[in-house]
Structure 1
Amino acid sequence: MGLHAALAVHPGSGQGAAARIAGTVAARLRDHVDRLDLLAADTPAQSRALLDRSHADGLDALVVLGGDGAAHQAVQFCAGTGVALGLVPSGTGNDLARALGVPSDVPAAVDAVIAALRQRRRRRIDLGRVGDTWFGTVLCAGFDAAVNERANRMRWPRGPRRYDLAILAELAAFRSSRVVVRTDRDELELPAVLAAIGNTGFYGGGVPICPDADPGDGLFDVTVVGNAGRRELVHMLPGLRTGRHVTHPAVTTLRAREVTLSGNDWPVYADGEPLGRVPVSVTCVPGALAVLG
């Protein structure tokens, strides 16, 4: 049976970058598969309908041209199935692609996808699960989720600098809260400003909040920032870009397969998408996703 792949494009990804290069990427992929479906959708519902149609016809691989929002929707579709996910990053953050070692350069990323398709090369990675929702990168609650909410509302600047400005704006308003962190190994109760549960290490366009997270070890890395004031947070921020924040006295790190956050009503985001508010329970599902490469 021939190789059946689909290229999913979110036209708005990367301020329209995905739409501009979709035809070129599709042409390159078409030379290396027996069938390629080009799926362009502006909403998750449209995307799911197109994906279901391709899946019914025996889809082998789904290649996503877009950013973390598009990747998140693709993970919902591919998780727990035999459909392998490939990424060609063209969004703002591209954190899942970064964590998986996908080249940031579009032609190089397409080359990597083509090589994996031709060699039928795939590997399995873990995913996080909250109820019926899967995530590939980081679930965050507290200050960082509030920053995510603010960044999503901002139209300027583009790229990771938008996240940096959202951090500065939230510093003026955010207060620490009591949080209870229960895992299958530990239990913490403390005043804190954020908790991040990482399947992979990056969020916010390359911030290594859980710098040692490995999506192949069956465990989350958990980073909890305790009762740090504004001045202390400001001093900690430069270390976020390098992962040095985990050595700060206010930071606690844990590793666990299951995590529950409770004790407040912080906003919760995963893969940059809103998932309600605390309390929230999260499970790491080993090998839930097949990825090309």
Structure 2
Amino acid sequence: MPGPPADGPADRFPVADGPVAVLANPTAGRGRHRTLLPRLLDGLAGAGRPVRLLAASGPGEAEAACRAAVAEGVGALVAIGGDGTVHRAMQAVAGTAVPFGPVPAGTGNDFALDTGFPADPVAAVDVIASALRADRTHVVDLARMTGVDGAERWFGAVLAAGFDAIVNERANRMRWPRGPRRYDLAILVELARLRPRHYTLRLDGVPLDLDAVLVAVGNCPTYGGGMRICPAADPTDGLLDVVVAGRVNRRTLIRVKPRIYQGTHVSHPLVTSYRARTVELAADGIVTYADGERSLELPVTISAVPGALRLLR
């Protein structure tokens, strides 16, 4: 069973004057929380600050709107949606003093739940509003990823760099079918093509060459809506957890996959776990997915950055 959420140290941190900027994704969770938005905004306004809803029609615009809001001096940033919405907003506040509140309203809410926010969006907003009134924050770590061209991205939950990333990449290229069936079909196609790939890792400078079908780097334990792929990851320990599934065949992968929800897959003899502050990861033909979002192509360098995010909790 999942353990208690990680808990960073609480402190009183005066929130700067300025409105609370809100990024909301009305399509998150297939729109099931769309009608809640006015109530959530009212709840945030109960903290005694003006609330500013950011306008964005897509992921790129959403990220740009968050960056602009932070540059203009908002007091806090709140993201209402799933892990993708949180990931976009996180790029603007990572490494800054601007506090952040993730409101879980998507299909996958791994970062918010792993860092101790209630699963109910209304309850999460109550927690954020209370923290704003009390100038209370909890600091947590983030992972900073850098590509060979110097491109930089942050993630809060898990970076996928193996079979799971390959499935996402295929699903994103497909135009049919729509909805979850597209992802299911992508899994079937990639299972038929499954083969170990050669990876080169450097863990805090120590080289490691291996063949694997799955590599995940976790700041938090879960991804994909509650799959505990890196079950021992703790976003307050200054370290990254690396979980590797080696030369696994199709039958074994299918048999082991259900165990990921409990995190017991790490006891399988073909699964190995590591822990490091800095992870250098290389393989041919892999585009990574961070917090479920398409990210940088390998090779990348991933560093744990302690206290990179102030959560309103």
Do the structures match in fold with TM over 0.5? yes
Matched, 1:202 2:222: yes
The amino acid across from 2:191 in the alignment is L
Residue matched to 1:251: 271
- TM-score normalised to structure 2 length: 0.85
Instruction: Report the Cα distance in structure 2 between the residues aligned to 1:262 and 1:196, rounded to whole angstroms.
Output: 13
Preserved contact between residue 63 and residue 87 of structure 1 (Cα < 8 Å): yes
Instruction: Report the Cα distance in structure 2 between the residues aligned to 1:165 and 1:97, rounded to whole angstroms.
Output: 29
Quote the sequence identity (%). 47
Q: CA RMSD in A?
A: 2.2
Residues 108-147 of structure 1: pairs in structure 2 closer than 5 A: 108-131=123-146, 132-147=152-167
Preserved contact between residue 163 and residue 204 of structure 1 (Cα < 8 Å): no
Matched, 1:241 2:265: no
Stretch of structure 1 that moved more, 141-150 or 254-263: 141-150
Aligned counterpart in structure 1 of residue 54 of structure 2, from 39, 42, 45: 39
User: 1:107: Cα distance to partner?
Assistant: 1.7
Preserved contact between residue 160 and residue 288 of structure 2 (Cα < 8 Å): yes
Preserved contact between residue 44 and residue 126 of structure 2 (Cα < 8 Å): no
User: 1:19: Cα distance to partner?
Assistant: 3.7
Query: Does the C-alpha gap of structure 1 residues 171 and 216 become closer, same or farther in structure 2, counting only changes over 3 Å?
Result: same
User: 1:227: Cα distance to partner?
Assistant: 0.3
Output one character per residue of 1:21-80: Cα deviation in whole Å (capped at 9) or x when no partner: 221211121122221111132224433454355435531211111111110111100111
Which 5+ residue runs of structure 2 have no aligned equivalent?
Answer: 1-15, 147-151
Preserved contact between residue 96 and residue 200 of structure 1 (Cα < 8 Å): yes
Query: Does the C-alpha gap of structure 1 residues 169 and 47 become closer, same or farther in structure 2, counting only changes over 3 Å?
Result: same
- TM-score normalised to structure 1 length: 0.91
Instruction: Report the Cα distance in structure 2 between the residues aligned to 1:50 and 1:280, rounded to whole angstroms.
Output: 26
Preserved contact between residue 161 and residue 288 of structure 2 (Cα < 8 Å): yes
Residue matched to 1:157: 180
Query: Does the C-alpha gap of structure 1 residues 264 and 4 become closer, same or farther in structure 2, counting only changes over 3 Å?
Result: same
User: 1:112: Cα distance to partner?
Assistant: 1.4
The amino acid across from 1:155 in the alignment is R
Query: Does the C-alpha gap of structure 1 residues 9 and 139 become closer, same or farther in structure 2, counting only changes over 3 Å?
Result: same
Aligned counterpart in structure 2 of residue 265 of structure 1, from 273, 285, 290: 285
Matched, 1:173 2:193: yes
Residue matched to 1:64: 79
The amino acid across from 2:256 in the alignment is M
Residue matched to 2:111: 96
Secondary structure of the 1:77 match is: helix
Matched, 1:187 2:187: no
Residue matched to 2:40: 25
Query: Does the C-alpha gap of structure 1 residues 20 and 165 become closer, same or farther in structure 2, counting only changes over 3 Å?
Result: farther
Q: Tell me the matched-pair count.
A: 290
Instruction: Report the Cα distance in structure 1 between the residues aligned to 2:171 and 2:114, rounded to whole angstroms.
Output: 21
The amino acid across from 1:5 in the alignment is V
Secondary structure of the 1:40 match is: coil
Preserved contact between residue 225 and residue 250 of structure 1 (Cα < 8 Å): yes
The amino acid across from 2:294 in the alignment is P
Preserved contact between residue 4 and residue 33 of structure 1 (Cα < 8 Å): no
Instruction: Report the Cα distance in structure 2 between the residues aligned to 1:234 and 1:48, rounded to whole angstroms.
Output: 36
Instruction: Report the Cα distance in structure 2 between the residues aligned to 1:67 and 1:22, rounded to whole angstroms.
Output: 14
Stretch of structure 1 that moved more, 270-279 or 240-249: 270-279
Instruction: Report the Cα distance in structure 2 between the residues aligned to 1:271 and 1:65, rounded to whole angstroms.
Output: 15
Query: Does the C-alpha gap of structure 1 residues 5 and 130 become closer, same or farther in structure 2, counting only changes over 3 Å?
Result: same
User: 1:164: Cα distance to partner?
Assistant: 6.5
Instruction: Report the Cα distance in structure 2 between the residues aligned to 1:55 and 1:178, rounded to whole angstroms.
Output: 41
Preserved contact between residue 70 and residue 93 of structure 2 (Cα < 8 Å): no
The amino acid across from 1:138 in the alignment is V
Instruction: Report the Cα distance in structure 2 between the residues aligned to 1:186 and 1:163, rounded to whole angstroms.
Output: 36
Matched, 1:228 2:243: no
